Amino acid sequence: MNYFITGCTGLVGSSIAREILDGGMGHVVALKRHSSSFENVQDIHEKIEWVEGDINCLEALSYGIDRSDYVIHAAAIVSFAKRDLAKMQRVNIEGTRNVVELARKANIKKLCHISSIAAIGEGHNSDESTMWDDLPHHSPYSLTKTLAEWEVWRAMEEGLNAVIVNPSAVIGKGNWNNSSLKMFQFIKEKNISHYPTGTFNFIDNRDLSTLCIELLHSDIYSERFIINGGSLKFKEVIEKVCLQFGKKAPKKPFTDGFLQTLLILEKLRSIFLNKKPMLSKSLLETLQRDVFYDSSKVKHLFNFTFRSFDETLDWALN
């Protein structure tokens, strides 16, 4: 079998490619930009047939999709900054539209779209039926991932065989300057005095890859699946990471006044240093919310046991 992967040099796409290749499932064709780093695929990059182009290059996409039985669409830009909205619209929404349209016309066996829990509505215990709500605190990323999902649903109504997965924060081995792994770099470099009071939902990258492939090869179509390995308070998560780094854990919770001060200082830092802000209002609001994502649907379907946060953290940091 032939598999075409977008976002293959990223944390999720590289893990899925590795599982396909290590399992002898077939040939992997993958999209890469000219500037893409092979850091996450050092051990497998020579086994992959690379197609150079970005997610809006129809010629490159057509080359890969037309030669494939299955498509895994993992390419996306993750940002909580409003300044990145236009870029996320081009990649997350328009790029997804390009992929699903070409996949539908090529009559592939199946597509797996890697969405996010950011496209799931927020309830005390959110599941696949919890619809996204257009609330002011939603980030630009949340909006673009929701609209990207709509592109997939539309294509499925027009005949595309596909499934959607909604992973929580993905933890694994990879570049600490990207995605959820930025948390490790931040905690290692900074002396943190306060902790967020919200809930952290996580998934081990290996578990996510396995379930994506299981769903891709299943007879299930036109459904979405939350992929969440567990939920912990941020205080406990930060304490565990600090312990790994031999650092003191913060003792004070975030307060409204502290958050406002953080935002002002971060804005000043970005202006004077001409650097992209590391923090945003929507990100800090997200860190303060208690939202739980229920992945019992996929867990019961495959009788699957998720790895614990401790096991995932030991693997990711060692």
CATH code for position 116: 3.40.50.720
CB burial class (10 A; 0-12, 13-18, 19+) of residue 181?
buried
Question: How many distinct structural domains can be found in the chain?
Answer: 1
Distances in Å between the alpha carbon of 217 and those of 90, 157, 175, 210?
Answer: 29, 20, 29, 11
Range of the domain at 57: 2-171+199-229+291-306
> Mean of the per-residue pLDDT values for the chain?
90
| Closest alpha carbon to 165 in 295, 10, 304 | 295
Confidence of residue 261 (pLDDT cuts 50, 70, 90): low
Listed range (19-28, 99-108, 284-293) with the worst mean pLDDT? 284-293
| Closest alpha carbon to 187 in 274, 257, 246 | 246
pLDDT value of residue 177: 74
- Beta bridge pairs of residue 164: 113, 224
Q: Is there a domain that residue 178 lies in?
A: no
Q: Is there a domain that residue 65 lies in?
A: yes
pTM: 0.91
More confident residue, 80 or 99: 99
Q: What is the pLDDT of residues 142-180, one digit of tens each?
A: 899 999 999 999 999 999 999 999 999 999 998 777 777
Average pLDDT over residues 62-85: 92
C-beta separation of 254 from 288 below 8 A:
yes
Q: Is there a domain that residue 39 lies in?
A: yes
* Tokens matching residue 233: 């308070």
Q: Is there a domain that residue 187 lies in?
A: no
